[in-house]
Amino acid sequence: MAQTARWRGIIDAYRSYLSLPADAPTLTLHEGNTPLVPARHAGRGADLHFKIEGANPTGSFKDRGMAVAVSGAMAEGARFLVCASTGNTSASAAAYAARAGLPALLAVPAGDGAVAQGKLAQALAFGARLVLVGGNFDQALAAVRALAAARPDAALVNSVNPLRLEGQKTGAYEVVEQLGDAPEWLCIPVGNAGNISAYWRGFCEYRQSGRAGRVPRLIGAQAAGAAPLVHGREVDEPKTLASAIRIGRPASAHLARAAVAEADGRFLAVSDADILEAYRFLARREGIFCEPASAASLAGFWQAQRAGLIAADQRVVCVLTGNGLKDPERAIAEGEPTVRAEPTAAAIAAALPPELRDA
Ligand code: F0G
C-alpha cells in the first residue's frame, strides 16, 4: 500500500484496478486509507477489527465511490450531478461536486428524522441544491433515475452508477493489505446493497490476482424493519431508527444476493434495540463513534456469534460505514443527563460518581 505520508486518494493508489476511462481526471479529497482498529472488548473471543470508514473526508465510505463516479462524470462532460439519498451519498456528492465545479441536485426524503441533521448540514455547506421529496428513499431513487434517463447531461451518482462500486471495492483492498489477507468474516450494513457488492468484488479480485489467499464469508446486516434481503420480499414502508439504511427496495439486491450466496454468507435482521446496544458499546467501550446504521454491522456480528455461525477465534472485520457526528441528535438522546454547576472546583467535582468524589 502507498505510504500514509504520500497518500493521495484511491484513484492515485488503485487507478489500474478501476474501470475508469483513461482520460478521466483524478478528482480526489484523498479519500480511503482509513484505519483498521482492533476491538478491545466487542470481539467476545473473536479476533475482531473495525474498518473506520467515518474517517473519510465527508465522514462515510461513499467518498470512495464518489471520487471515481465524479471523475468519470467529468470525463463525460456532465453538466450536473444528481442523486437520491438517505444522507451520506448526498453529503459526499455535494463535496465532490463542489470540488469539481459542478452543480449537485440532491433528492432526499422529507420528514422528521428521515435524514440525520449532520448530513443535511453538509449538503447545504457544500452549496448543493437540496430537494426534500414527499416520499421515501426508494421513491426518490426511482424519480432521479427517471430524471437522469431523460437528461444525458446529468450524471447519476447513486450506486447504480457502476463507477461507484468500482471505487467502493477499494475498501476490501485495504482490509487485505492491512491484515495481510482477507478476514474469515466481513460484517457490513446493507441498505441499497451497493457496498456489500463492492466489497465482494474487491475481495474476489484480490484473491484472483494472488494478493489474498482467501475471500471472507459475508454477513449483510439489515435493520429488522427494513430487511428485504433477509425476508426475500421488498418492503413498501421501511422503518428503523438507522435512517441511513431505511430502504425497502435495494437497487443492487441482485448483486448482493449473488455475493452472499458465493461467499456462503448470510443476511441477518438486527432489531433497532440491538443496533442501539452496539452503537452505545462502540462509543462507550471501544471509543469509536459511528452512526447507528454502521453499528448494525457489530449487531450482526454478535447475532452470528450467538448463533454459533462464527467460531470463537476467527478473524472478523466489521465495516463501520459512517461517522457518529452525522447524527448528533441520536448521540445526544443516548447520552447521560448533563448537570449544571457554579464555576467552582467543588461544584464541578460534585458531578463525579460517589466513589470518585474524594481523593
Ligand atoms: N451505512 C451507511 C452509513 C450508509 O449511509 C449506507 C447507505 C449504508 C450503510 C448502506 O450501504 O446502500 O451500499 O447498502 N447510504 C445510502 C445514502 C443509501 O443515500 O447515503 P448500501
User: Can you give the pLDDT at residue 252?
Assistant: 98
Prediction pTM value: 0.97
Span from the CA of 65 to the centroid of ligand 1 (angstroms): 12
Q: Answer whether residue 1 shows pLDDT above 60.
A: no
Q: What is the mean pLDDT of the chain?
A: 97
| Per-residue pLDDT reduced to its tens digit, 291-344 | 999 999 999 999 999 999 999 899 999 999 999 999 999 999 999 999 999 999
End-to-end, the C-alpha distance of the chain in Å comes to 49
Mean pLDDT of 113-137: 98
Q: Answer whether residue 134 shows pLDDT above 80.
A: yes
User: Can you give the pLDDT at residue 113?
Assistant: 95
Cell of 224: 429488522
User: Can you give the pLDDT at residue 175?
Assistant: 99
CA–CA separation, 67 and 99 (whole Å): 10
Q: With pLDDT > 90 as the criterion, what percentage of the chain qualifies?
A: 97
Q: Which residues line ligand 1 (CB under 6 A)?
A: 60, 62, 85-89, 159, 189-195, 244-245, 291, 293-294, 321-322
Q: Answer whether residue 35 shows pLDDT above 60.
A: yes
Cβ burial of 171 (10 Å; 0-12, 13-18, 19+) is buried
Give all strands of the β-sheet with 129-133 in edge-to-edge order: 129-133, 104-109, 80-84, 154-156
Cell of 11: 484513484
Mean pLDDT of 175-189: 98
Mean pLDDT of 22-30: 97
User: Can you give the pLDDT at residue 357?
Assistant: 83
Which atom of ligand 1 is found nearest the CA of 84?
A: 19
Q: Which domains does the chain have, with CATH numbers?
A: 10-58+164-326 (3.40.50.1100), 62-161 (3.40.50.1100)
Q: Answer whether residue 13 shows pLDDT above 90.
A: yes
User: Can you give the pLDDT at residue 3?
Assistant: 53
Span from the CA of 12 to the centroid of ligand 1 (angstroms): 24
Q: Answer whether residue 125 shows pLDDT above 60.
A: yes
Band (358; pLDDT cuts 50, 70, 90): confident
CA–CA separation, 317 and 261 (whole Å): 19
Residue type, position 190, single letter? V
Residue 29 backbone dihedrals phi, psi, to 5 degrees: -110, 25
User: Can you give the pLDDT at residue 5?
Assistant: 72
Q: Answer whether residue 276 shows pLDDT above 70.
A: yes
CA–CA separation, 176 and 317 (whole Å): 10
* Contacts with 295 (C-beta within 8 Å, 6 or more apart), sequence order: 242, 275, 276, 278, 279, 282, 320
Q: Measured in whole angstroms, how far is the alpha carbon of residue 329 from the centre of its chain? A: 19
Q: Answer whether residue 26 shows pLDDT above 60.
A: yes
Give all strands of the β-sheet with 266-270 in edge-to-edge order: 36-38, 47-52, 315-320, 185-189, 217-223, 266-270
Span from the CA of 66 to the centroid of ligand 1 (angstroms): 13
* Contacts with 53 (C-beta within 8 Å, 6 or more apart), sequence order: 34, 60, 61, 171, 294, 319, 320, 321, 322
CA distances, 83 to each of 191, 258, 346 (Å) = 15, 25, 54
Which atom of ligand 1 is found nearest the CA of 119?
A: 20
Which protein residue's CA is at the shortest distance from atom 19 of ligand 1?
A: 85
Mutate to test the pocket of ligand 1, among 64, 115, 160, 192 (most ligand atoms within 8 A of CB): 192
Q: Answer whether residue 99 shows pLDDT above 80.
A: yes
User: Can you give the pLDDT at residue 359?
Assistant: 84
Mean pLDDT of 175-182: 98
